[in-house]
């Protein structure tokens, strides 16, 4: 392939990438920052948490449930054990014994994997509105109240919320956190455009009946990860884009620890990227393939610079362009989420991002391990 063709494809993918990120930024800025007034809540709400081997951190989430401002008579908490091999189940059982004021149940999954565990919890729930989160997450005390108020005021069928890393210590963890907020901000911005396609089940709320209606056709894709994204696509397809809302409220931000090391981070991202092959929504396909192509071309330019030294200048120039494109969205979301301290790490993050994305995209085509289980894809 000639140098002119390579530079043309790189430039074209850069333009498409810029247009998409500018659209995300506009979408984020268009979202109203909700400030809810006090009102009498009426919605029965079930929080469903699937867990496996989270003994070291599960108690923090359980303690957070004690401090929720949501009316206790309307709240149900369902914990589903996914065959834990540590003391997670014992931690949950002890909490239930010592906090009888909460309506909390502990179930064992009927199948294997998080997908089956969530299905068990959701189908067993009594609430009209289901809220899901992960066992290693920590919500604020107004989390459930804010979600319920939005639901009662606007009646969206599906509510997406923010998830961020917290307690970053090492340089790598700060880069992991930047990567994560770029994903969350992009999903939020896309929802703000009326084109929701990405979210995280660690902070998601939806009507139970819609989940039951979705059934196997929408969720049993054969992928070990991605039910949250496929569910978003299903709701948008069946009920329209207005049925999905992103809640822009600081009180609904859910925090989770960052991966401990590079290996854990890469395995997590490989698991997430493996589902992209099942996308059918045009907007999701356009975003995914544009981001991959741009970063793949940048990676190719970087590798080629070993034999064509001036390609390194091209790489740096496009990285600067990418950084300037990404900065407004990362700044806006970082300000909202209290993560502006990460902004000085943007340039080193951008320098290695294309290689990381290219590796993740190709590695996601093969099997990987997650929580002591080997997954086919």
- Summarised one tens digit per residue, pLDDT across range 164-214 is 999 999 999 999 999 999 999 999 999 999 999 999 999 999 999 999 988
For residues 61 and 176, membership in a common domain is answered with: yes
Q: Residue 154: inside a domain, yes or no? A: yes
Q: Which CATH number covers residue 162?
A: 3.90.550.10
Strands 254-256 and 138-139: antiparallel
Tell me phi and psi for residue 160, to 5 degrees: -105, 140
Q: Residue 299: inside a domain, yes or no? A: yes
Contact 161, 203 (CB under 8 A): yes
Q: Residue 238: inside a domain, yes or no? A: yes
- The answer for residues whose C-beta is within 8 angstroms of residue 172's C-beta and 6 or more apart is 261, 262, 265
**% of the chain exceeding 90 in pLDDT:** 79
For residues 222 and 368, membership in a common domain is answered with: no
Domain containing 154: what range? Answer: 42-261
Tell me phi and psi for residue 330, to 5 degrees: -65, -35
Q: How far apart are CA 90 and CA 70, in angstroms?
A: 26
Mean pLDDT, rounded, for 296-309: 95
Mean pLDDT, rounded, for 79-92: 94
Q: Residue 191: inside a domain, yes or no? A: yes
Q: Which H or E run contains 45? A: strand 45-51
Q: Residue 344: inside a domain, yes or no? A: yes
Strands 244-246 and 204-207: unpaired
210-225: per-residue pLDDT in tens? Answer: 999 887 555 554 444 4
Contact 266, 352 (CB under 8 A): no
Q: Residue 289: inside a domain, yes or no? A: yes
Contact 124, 49 (CB under 8 A): no
Q: Residue 35: inside a domain, yes or no? A: no
For residues 178 and 210, membership in a common domain is answered with: yes
17-74: per-residue pLDDT in tens? Answer: 999 999 999 999 999 887 766 678 999 999 999 999 999 999 999 999 999 999 999 9
For residues 218 and 342, membership in a common domain is answered with: no
* Three-state DSSP class for residue 50: strand
For residues 299 and 217, membership in a common domain is answered with: no
Using alpha carbons only, give the angle 10, 283, 192 rounded to the nearest 5 degrees: 110
Return the pLDDT at 151: 94
pLDDT at residue 347 is higher than 50: yes
């Amino acid at each position: 392939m000639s140098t002119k063709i390579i530079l043309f494809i790189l430039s074209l993918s850069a333009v498409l990438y810029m247009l998409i990120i500018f659209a995300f930024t506009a979408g984020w800025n268009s979202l109203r920052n909700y400030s809810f007034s006090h009102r009498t809540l009426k919605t029965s709400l079930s929080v469903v948490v699937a867990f496996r081997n989270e003994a070291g951190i599960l108690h923090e989430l359980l303690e957070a449930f004690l401090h929720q401002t949501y009316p206790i008579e309307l709240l149900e908490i369902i914990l589903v054990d996914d065959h834990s091999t540590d003391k997670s189940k014992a931690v949950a059982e002890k909490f239930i014994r010592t906090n009888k004021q909460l309506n909390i149940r502990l179930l064992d999954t009927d199948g294997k994997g998080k997908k089956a565990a969530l299905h068990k919890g959701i189908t067993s729930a009594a609430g009209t509105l289901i809220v899901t989160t992960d066992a290693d997450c920590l919500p604020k005390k107004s989390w459930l109240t804010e979600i319920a108020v939005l639901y009662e005021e606007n009646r969206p069928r599906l509510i997406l919320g923010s998830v961020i890393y917290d307690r970053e210590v090492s340089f790598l963890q700060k880069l992991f956190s930047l990567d994560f907020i770029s994903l969350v901000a992009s999903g939020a911005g896309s929802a703000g455009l009326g084109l929701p396609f990405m979210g995280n089940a660690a902070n998601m709320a939806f009507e139970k009946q819609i989940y039951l209606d979705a059934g196997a056709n929408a969720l049993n894709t054969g992928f070990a990860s991605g039910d949250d994204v496929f569910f978003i696509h299903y709701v948008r397809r069946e009920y329209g884009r207005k049925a999905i809302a992103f809640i822009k409220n600081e009180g609904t931000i859910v925090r989770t620890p960052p991966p401990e090391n590079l290996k854990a981070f890469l395995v997590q991202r490989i698991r997430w990227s493996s589902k992209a092959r099942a996308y059918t929504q045009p907007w999701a396909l356009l975003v995914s393939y544009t981001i991959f192509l741009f970063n793949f071309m940048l990676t190719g330019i970087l590798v080629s610079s070993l034999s064509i030294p001036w390609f390194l200048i091209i790489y740096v120039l496009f990285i600067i362009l990418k950084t300037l494109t990404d900065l407004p969205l990362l700044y806006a979301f970082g300000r909202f989420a209290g993560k502006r301290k990460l902004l000085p790490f943007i340039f080193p993050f951008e320098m290695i991002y294309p290689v990381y994305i290219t590796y993740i995209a190709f590695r996601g085509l093969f099997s990987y391990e997650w929580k002591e289980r080997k997954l086919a894809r």
